[in-house]
Structure 1
Protein backbone atom coordinates (compact mmCIF):
# COMPACT_ATOMS: atom_id res chain seq x y z
CA UNK A 1 0.00 0.00 0.00
CA UNK A 2 1.13 3.50 -0.82
CA UNK A 3 1.40 5.85 2.16
CA UNK A 4 1.42 9.62 2.58
CA UNK A 5 5.08 9.47 3.66
CA UNK A 6 5.91 7.65 0.43
CA UNK A 7 4.27 10.48 -1.55
CA UNK A 8 6.46 13.08 0.13
CA UNK A 9 9.59 10.92 -0.21
CA UNK A 10 8.91 10.39 -3.94
CA UNK A 11 8.34 14.11 -4.56
CA UNK A 12 11.45 15.10 -2.60
CA UNK A 13 13.51 12.50 -4.46
CA UNK A 14 12.29 13.90 -7.78
CA UNK A 15 13.22 17.45 -6.72
CA UNK A 16 16.62 16.35 -5.38
CA UNK A 17 17.39 14.51 -8.63
CA UNK A 18 16.83 17.66 -10.71
CA UNK A 19 19.49 19.43 -8.63
CA UNK A 20 21.80 16.39 -8.69
CA UNK A 21 21.80 16.06 -12.51
CA UNK A 22 22.61 19.75 -12.91
CA UNK A 23 25.37 19.51 -10.31
CA UNK A 24 27.00 16.55 -12.07
CA UNK A 25 26.88 18.53 -15.33
CA UNK A 26 28.24 21.74 -13.74
CA UNK A 27 31.13 19.78 -12.19
CA UNK A 28 32.07 18.27 -15.57
CA UNK A 29 30.72 14.80 -14.83
CA UNK A 30 28.76 12.51 -17.12
CA UNK A 31 25.30 13.99 -16.64
CA UNK A 32 23.82 11.71 -19.31
CA UNK A 33 24.97 8.55 -17.51
CA UNK A 34 23.79 9.93 -14.18
CA UNK A 35 20.40 10.93 -15.63
CA UNK A 36 20.06 7.46 -17.20
CA UNK A 37 20.42 5.93 -13.74
CA UNK A 38 17.94 8.45 -12.29
CA UNK A 39 15.43 7.50 -15.00
CA UNK A 40 15.90 3.79 -14.34
CA UNK A 41 15.58 4.22 -10.58
CA UNK A 42 12.65 6.64 -10.62
CA UNK A 43 10.61 6.06 -13.81
CA UNK A 44 9.12 2.71 -14.83
CA UNK A 45 10.42 2.73 -18.43
CA UNK A 46 12.50 -0.42 -17.85
CA UNK A 47 9.62 -2.54 -16.55
CA UNK A 48 6.42 -0.99 -17.83
CA UNK A 49 4.87 1.98 -19.50
CA UNK A 50 5.32 5.66 -18.62
CA UNK A 51 3.14 8.54 -19.74
CA UNK A 52 5.36 11.64 -19.76
CA UNK A 53 4.47 15.11 -21.02
CA UNK A 54 7.38 17.48 -20.28
CA UNK A 55 6.79 21.20 -19.79
CA UNK A 56 8.56 22.56 -22.84
CA UNK A 57 7.64 20.08 -25.58
CA UNK A 58 5.35 20.47 -28.57
CA UNK A 59 4.24 18.98 -31.87
CA UNK A 60 5.10 15.42 -32.76
CA UNK A 61 7.47 15.14 -29.77
CA UNK A 62 5.10 16.47 -27.10
CA UNK A 63 4.80 13.12 -25.33
CA UNK A 64 7.75 10.95 -24.31
CA UNK A 65 6.67 7.30 -24.06
CA UNK A 66 10.29 6.04 -24.17
CA UNK A 67 13.22 6.37 -21.82
CA UNK A 68 15.26 7.77 -24.72
CA UNK A 69 12.75 10.59 -25.18
CA UNK A 70 12.76 11.39 -21.48
CA UNK A 71 16.56 11.34 -21.34
CA UNK A 72 16.72 13.69 -24.33
CA UNK A 73 14.43 16.14 -22.57
CA UNK A 74 16.47 16.01 -19.37
CA UNK A 75 19.97 16.18 -20.89
CA UNK A 76 19.67 17.19 -24.57
CA UNK A 77 22.29 16.05 -27.07
CA UNK A 78 20.09 13.57 -28.95
CA UNK A 79 19.68 14.35 -32.64
CA UNK A 80 16.39 12.41 -32.66
CA UNK A 81 15.06 15.19 -30.37
CA UNK A 82 16.67 18.32 -31.86
CA UNK A 83 14.61 20.81 -29.83
CA UNK A 84 15.66 19.40 -26.45
CA UNK A 85 18.34 21.48 -24.76
CA UNK A 86 18.57 19.55 -21.49
CA UNK A 87 16.16 20.95 -18.93
CA UNK A 88 18.02 19.42 -15.97
CA UNK A 89 21.41 20.82 -17.05
CA UNK A 90 20.61 24.50 -16.28
CA UNK A 91 21.80 23.89 -13.40
CA UNK A 92 19.00 24.22 -10.90
CA UNK A 93 20.38 24.81 -7.41
CA UNK A 94 17.16 24.49 -5.43
CA UNK A 95 13.96 22.66 -6.32
CA UNK A 96 10.94 22.12 -4.07
CA UNK A 97 7.24 21.33 -4.28
CA UNK A 98 4.24 23.14 -2.80
CA UNK A 99 0.45 22.93 -2.81
CA UNK A 100 0.66 19.16 -2.95
CA UNK A 101 -2.49 17.08 -2.90
CA UNK A 102 -2.86 13.38 -3.56
CA UNK A 103 -5.11 10.34 -3.75
CA UNK A 104 -3.80 7.01 -2.50
CA UNK A 105 -5.11 3.95 -4.33
CA UNK A 106 -3.54 0.61 -3.49
CA UNK A 107 0.00 0.59 -4.87
CA UNK A 108 -0.52 3.97 -6.59
CA UNK A 109 -0.38 7.60 -5.53
CA UNK A 110 -1.98 10.21 -7.78
CA UNK A 111 -0.36 13.58 -7.05
CA UNK A 112 -0.72 17.20 -8.08
CA UNK A 113 1.61 19.97 -6.97
CA UNK A 114 3.60 23.02 -7.97
CA UNK A 115 7.32 22.59 -8.38
CA UNK A 116 9.60 25.60 -7.95
CA UNK A 117 13.04 25.85 -9.57
CA UNK A 118 15.83 28.26 -8.63
CA UNK A 119 18.68 28.47 -11.13
CA UNK A 120 22.33 29.18 -10.42
CA UNK A 121 21.65 32.49 -12.21
CA UNK A 122 18.97 33.25 -9.56
CA UNK A 123 16.14 32.67 -12.05
CA UNK A 124 12.91 31.31 -10.58
CA UNK A 125 10.14 29.44 -12.36
CA UNK A 126 7.40 27.17 -11.20
CA UNK A 127 5.34 24.60 -13.03
CA UNK A 128 2.19 22.64 -12.36
CA UNK A 129 2.85 18.91 -12.07
CA UNK A 130 0.78 15.76 -11.99
CA UNK A 131 2.42 12.46 -11.14
CA UNK A 132 1.27 8.92 -10.66
CA UNK A 133 3.75 7.03 -8.51
CA UNK A 134 3.65 3.24 -8.36
CA UNK A 135 5.11 0.94 -5.74
CA UNK A 136 6.80 -1.62 -7.99
CA UNK A 137 7.38 -5.32 -7.40
CA UNK A 138 10.99 -4.66 -6.34
CA UNK A 139 9.72 -2.31 -3.60
CA UNK A 140 10.92 0.87 -5.36
CA UNK A 141 8.59 3.76 -6.06
CA UNK A 142 8.61 4.78 -9.72
CA UNK A 143 6.76 7.30 -11.84
CA UNK A 144 4.26 5.94 -14.37
CA UNK A 145 2.71 9.32 -15.24
CA UNK A 146 4.42 12.72 -15.26
CA UNK A 147 2.60 15.70 -16.74
CA UNK A 148 4.06 19.18 -16.51
CA UNK A 149 2.79 22.56 -17.66
CA UNK A 150 3.42 26.23 -17.12
CA UNK A 151 0.68 27.95 -15.11
CA UNK A 152 -2.02 29.58 -17.20
CA UNK A 153 -1.69 33.35 -17.33
CA UNK A 154 -4.70 35.09 -18.91
Structure 2
Protein backbone atom coordinates (compact mmCIF):
# COMPACT_ATOMS: atom_id res chain seq x y z
CA UNK A 1 0.00 0.00 0.00
CA UNK A 2 1.30 3.42 -0.96
CA UNK A 3 1.81 5.87 1.91
CA UNK A 4 2.22 9.63 2.23
CA UNK A 5 5.85 9.06 3.22
CA UNK A 6 6.42 7.14 -0.01
CA UNK A 7 4.97 10.07 -2.00
CA UNK A 8 7.30 12.56 -0.34
CA UNK A 9 10.31 10.28 -0.79
CA UNK A 10 9.51 9.73 -4.48
CA UNK A 11 9.10 13.46 -5.12
CA UNK A 12 12.27 14.37 -3.23
CA UNK A 13 14.24 11.68 -5.05
CA UNK A 14 12.98 13.04 -8.38
CA UNK A 15 14.09 16.57 -7.42
CA UNK A 16 17.48 15.37 -6.16
CA UNK A 17 18.12 13.45 -9.40
CA UNK A 18 17.53 16.58 -11.50
CA UNK A 19 20.25 18.36 -9.54
CA UNK A 20 22.57 15.35 -9.71
CA UNK A 21 22.32 15.06 -13.52
CA UNK A 22 23.35 18.69 -13.93
CA UNK A 23 26.16 18.33 -11.41
CA UNK A 24 27.55 15.24 -13.14
CA UNK A 25 27.38 17.05 -16.49
CA UNK A 26 29.03 20.23 -15.12
CA UNK A 27 31.86 18.13 -13.65
CA UNK A 28 32.49 16.36 -16.98
CA UNK A 29 30.90 13.06 -15.93
CA UNK A 30 28.63 10.76 -17.89
CA UNK A 31 25.24 12.45 -17.42
CA UNK A 32 23.72 10.23 -20.11
CA UNK A 33 24.62 7.01 -18.30
CA UNK A 34 23.38 8.39 -14.99
CA UNK A 35 20.12 9.57 -16.60
CA UNK A 36 19.63 6.15 -18.21
CA UNK A 37 19.99 4.58 -14.76
CA UNK A 38 17.52 7.10 -13.29
CA UNK A 39 15.02 6.09 -15.98
CA UNK A 40 15.49 2.40 -15.08
CA UNK A 41 15.34 2.97 -11.33
CA UNK A 42 12.56 5.57 -11.15
CA UNK A 43 10.45 5.23 -14.32
CA UNK A 44 8.74 2.01 -15.40
CA UNK A 45 10.05 1.97 -18.99
CA UNK A 46 11.96 -1.31 -18.52
CA UNK A 47 8.98 -3.17 -17.05
CA UNK A 48 5.87 -1.56 -18.43
CA UNK A 49 4.43 1.51 -20.08
CA UNK A 50 5.10 5.15 -19.13
CA UNK A 51 3.04 8.18 -20.10
CA UNK A 52 5.48 11.11 -20.16
CA UNK A 53 4.71 14.63 -21.37
CA UNK A 54 7.78 16.80 -20.73
CA UNK A 55 7.46 20.55 -20.19
CA UNK A 56 9.21 21.83 -23.31
CA UNK A 57 8.04 19.45 -26.04
CA UNK A 58 5.74 20.04 -28.99
CA UNK A 59 4.32 18.61 -32.19
CA UNK A 60 4.88 14.96 -33.04
CA UNK A 61 7.35 14.59 -30.17
CA UNK A 62 5.20 16.04 -27.39
CA UNK A 63 4.77 12.68 -25.67
CA UNK A 64 7.65 10.35 -24.79
CA UNK A 65 6.36 6.78 -24.43
CA UNK A 66 9.85 5.31 -24.90
CA UNK A 67 12.91 5.34 -22.69
CA UNK A 68 14.92 6.64 -25.65
CA UNK A 69 12.62 9.65 -25.99
CA UNK A 70 12.73 10.39 -22.27
CA UNK A 71 16.53 10.13 -22.21
CA UNK A 72 16.76 12.52 -25.14
CA UNK A 73 14.63 15.07 -23.32
CA UNK A 74 16.81 14.77 -20.22
CA UNK A 75 20.24 15.05 -21.89
CA UNK A 76 19.74 15.81 -25.61
CA UNK A 77 22.16 14.60 -28.27
CA UNK A 78 19.72 12.32 -30.12
CA UNK A 79 19.19 13.16 -33.81
CA UNK A 80 15.76 11.49 -33.66
CA UNK A 81 14.71 14.29 -31.29
CA UNK A 82 16.32 17.38 -32.85
CA UNK A 83 14.58 19.91 -30.58
CA UNK A 84 15.88 18.36 -27.34
CA UNK A 85 18.62 20.39 -25.69
CA UNK A 86 18.90 18.37 -22.50
CA UNK A 87 16.60 20.00 -19.96
CA UNK A 88 18.47 18.47 -17.01
CA UNK A 89 21.90 19.69 -18.16
CA UNK A 90 21.32 23.38 -17.33
CA UNK A 91 22.57 22.68 -14.55
CA UNK A 92 19.85 23.09 -11.98
CA UNK A 93 21.44 23.66 -8.57
CA UNK A 94 18.30 23.54 -6.42
CA UNK A 95 15.01 21.80 -7.15
CA UNK A 96 12.08 21.40 -4.80
CA UNK A 97 8.35 20.68 -4.85
CA UNK A 98 5.51 22.63 -3.26
CA UNK A 99 1.72 22.65 -3.06
CA UNK A 100 1.62 18.90 -3.39
CA UNK A 101 -1.63 17.01 -3.17
CA UNK A 102 -2.22 13.34 -3.78
CA UNK A 103 -4.62 10.43 -3.81
CA UNK A 104 -3.43 7.03 -2.59
CA UNK A 105 -5.01 4.05 -4.30
CA UNK A 106 -3.56 0.65 -3.49
CA UNK A 107 -0.13 0.40 -5.10
CA UNK A 108 -0.55 3.80 -6.81
CA UNK A 109 -0.12 7.43 -5.78
CA UNK A 110 -1.66 10.09 -8.00
CA UNK A 111 0.17 13.36 -7.33
CA UNK A 112 -0.02 17.00 -8.35
CA UNK A 113 2.50 19.63 -7.32
CA UNK A 114 4.60 22.56 -8.41
CA UNK A 115 8.30 21.98 -8.95
CA UNK A 116 10.71 24.90 -8.65
CA UNK A 117 14.07 24.97 -10.45
CA UNK A 118 16.97 27.31 -9.64
CA UNK A 119 19.71 27.39 -12.26
CA UNK A 120 23.40 27.99 -11.70
CA UNK A 121 22.77 31.36 -13.38
CA UNK A 122 20.17 32.23 -10.67
CA UNK A 123 17.28 31.71 -13.10
CA UNK A 124 14.09 30.45 -11.49
CA UNK A 125 11.22 28.65 -13.15
CA UNK A 126 8.45 26.54 -11.81
CA UNK A 127 6.24 24.02 -13.54
CA UNK A 128 2.99 22.26 -12.75
CA UNK A 129 3.50 18.51 -12.46
CA UNK A 130 1.29 15.47 -12.29
CA UNK A 131 2.77 12.08 -11.47
CA UNK A 132 1.43 8.61 -10.97
CA UNK A 133 3.85 6.56 -8.89
CA UNK A 134 3.51 2.80 -8.74
CA UNK A 135 4.90 0.40 -6.18
CA UNK A 136 6.34 -2.25 -8.48
CA UNK A 137 6.69 -5.98 -7.95
CA UNK A 138 10.37 -5.58 -7.00
CA UNK A 139 9.38 -3.16 -4.20
CA UNK A 140 10.69 -0.07 -5.99
CA UNK A 141 8.55 3.00 -6.59
CA UNK A 142 8.49 4.01 -10.26
CA UNK A 143 6.76 6.66 -12.32
CA UNK A 144 4.13 5.46 -14.77
CA UNK A 145 2.76 8.94 -15.60
CA UNK A 146 4.68 12.21 -15.63
CA UNK A 147 2.97 15.29 -17.06
CA UNK A 148 4.62 18.67 -16.90
CA UNK A 149 3.54 22.11 -18.08
CA UNK A 150 4.35 25.75 -17.57
CA UNK A 151 1.70 27.60 -15.54
CA UNK A 152 -1.02 29.29 -17.57
CA UNK A 153 -0.31 32.98 -18.13
CA UNK A 154 -3.46 34.79 -19.31
CA UNK A 155 -2.98 37.80 -21.57
CA UNK A 156 -3.32 41.14 -19.75
Question: What TM-score bracket applies, with the shorter chain setting the length?
Answer: over 0.9
Runs of 4+ in 1 over 3 A off after TM superposition: none
Structure 1 gap ranges (5+): none
Does the residue aligned with 1:113 lie in a helix, a strand or coil?
A: strand
RMSD: 0.2
* CA displacement, residues 26-69 of structure 1 (integer Å, 9 cap, x when unaligned): 00001000100011000000000000000000000000000000
The residue aligned with 1:91 is 91
In the other structure, the counterpart of 1:42 is 42
What is the rounded CA distance, in whole Å, between the counterparts of 1:39 and 1:118 in structure 2? 22
What is the DSSP-based 3-state SS (H/G/I as helix, E as strand, rest coil) of the residue aligned with 1:57? coil
Matches within 5 A, 1:2-81: 2-81=2-81
Report what 2:105 is aligned to: 105
TM-score, structure 2 length as denominator? 0.99
TM-score normalised by the chain length of structure 1: 1.00
CA distance in 2, matches of 1:16, 1:25: 14
